[in-house]
Chain A
Amino acid sequence: MAEPVPSSKPEPSAPVVDEDELVHAARQGDLKAYDELVKRYQERIYATLYHMTSNHEDANDLAQEAFIKAFQALKSFKGGSSFYTWLYRIAVNKTINFLKQRKNRTHMSLNDIDFNAEHDPDLMALISEQTPRRAAGLTELQEKLNAALLKLSEHHRLVVVLHDVQGLSHEEIAKVMECNVGTVRSRLFYARQQMQGFLADYLKPT
């Protein structure tokens, strides 16, 4: 029988259950424990898949399927890497396969930009500077940015998303992508160069 797991919305005083315990319980079939794991990682997994697809519906489907697959494959999880890295790998592989299948059939379904963007000094600096991007609103910038990302290959896009958007380190990305750190660095450099070309009008030096 699985060990008891605290309620899905822990109070501030509630003890934080160790991830290994949750994984162990989920492996025994405890769906409450797995529900807790899903809650911990749903935002990061969804965000990565959304930035990869630029489509909310696709990201939603892929994220759900990735969590289901991960639950089914939990027995094969040996613990060689962290659960988070392992889960990421499943989600990313699923997404890359999906993107390869829907090649040239891209349809953007972008999420709204939150209110905080208007208070982001970096973004305000980009919009207010004396460049062609000055006239561009945040929505236009968002569309151009997503369109540029979709022009990258899946692996290059993934590196940019994980590093420059999600903030993962090179080492973490290497684990997720099952390649060495040098490959991650070179892919990142190449992807950034390509992005610069695609967004030249919005990145002109003042």
Chain B
Amino acid sequence: MNEKENNFESLRRLLALKRHETPPPGYFENFSREVTARIRAGEMGGTADVSKPLPWLFRLMAAFEAKPAFAGAFASALCMLLFFGIVYAERPDATLQPLLTAQVESPVNVPPSPMSLALNTLPVEQPVVIPINSTNPVFNAQPASMIFGRSSATVQPLTFSLGN
């Protein structure tokens, strides 16, 4: 134990060297001036009235610097909010879902018009029931290849010849 204490004493003497490490001469003469200049110019946005309240973000960041526990609590609260937001967004909407399913399963709920009655007499294909989902893209019954009419593109060899 005594030897250990002696070793600590040697270490303490060695650490004393750190006290002799000094910054360049004149360094501290300008230090406070630089600090106050930065406060005036940058941090205060160039305004002369420094007693005006700082923006809320600066004050929040300053509070985080002073109390890391506050920063941790704030971050935890933010994570919780995000988590509940995701869970809530993933959950199916309880009020809208029965309405949507009812519309899909019984597509003809409105009284038939004379025009539709006439059309119903014609032989038509069974309508395709597409489940309605808010995340589905807008359904386009027309095939993509038919957008510009019938595809008639043909591949032909192309030759180039130099002029005379």
Partner-B contacts on A (CB < 8 A): 8, 28-29, 31, 34-35, 38-39, 42-43, 46, 50-51, 56, 60, 63-64, 67-69, 71-73, 75-76, 86, 89-90, 93-94, 110-114, 116-117, 120, 122-123, 125-126, 138, 141-142, 145, 160-161, 164-165, 192, 195-196, 199, 202-203, 205
Contacts and interface: CB of A to CB of B under 8 A. Distances in A.
Interface of A is mostly: helix
B32 A39 contact: yes
A49 B154 CA distance: 75
A165 B14 contact: no
A75 B60 CA distance: 12
B13 interface: yes
Contacts of A205: 3, 6-7, 10
Given A50-B23, A116-B20, 7 more contacts: A35-B36, A38-B35, A64-B31, A64-B34, A67-B35, A86-B66, A120-B16
Contacts of B90: none
B18 A73 contact: no
A133 to B, nearest CB: 9
Which of B24, B39, B53, B68 is the most central at the interface, judged by chain A CB atoms within 10 Å of its CB?
B39
Given A67-B35, A120-B16, A76 B21 contact: no
Interface string B3-40: 10011101111111111111110011001111110111
A63 to B, nearest CB: 8
Contacts of B11: 164, 192, 195-196, 199, 203
Contacts of B51: 28-29
Given A71-B39, A90-B66, A123 B6 contact: no
Q: Is the interface of B mostly helix, strand, loop or mixed?
A: helix
A138 B66 contact: no
Contacts of B34: 64
B49 interface: yes
B7 A203 contact: yes
Given A76-B63, A86-B66, A68 B38 contact: yes
A54 to B, nearest CB: 9
Given A72-B59, A73-B62, A112-B22, A31 B7 contact: no
Contact of A160 (B15, B20, B54, B59): B15
A161 B14 CA distance: 12
Given A29-B50, A64-B35, A196-B11, A93 B68 contact: yes
Contacts of A120: 16-17, 20
A66 B8 CA distance: 32
Contact of B28 (A34, A42, A56): A42
B62 A145 contact: no
15 contacts: A31-B50, A42-B28, A50-B23, A63-B31, A64-B34, A67-B35, A68-B43, A71-B43, A72-B58, A73-B62, A90-B66, A122-B13, A145-B17, A165-B19, A203-B14
A138 B17 contact: yes
A141 B3 CA distance: 22
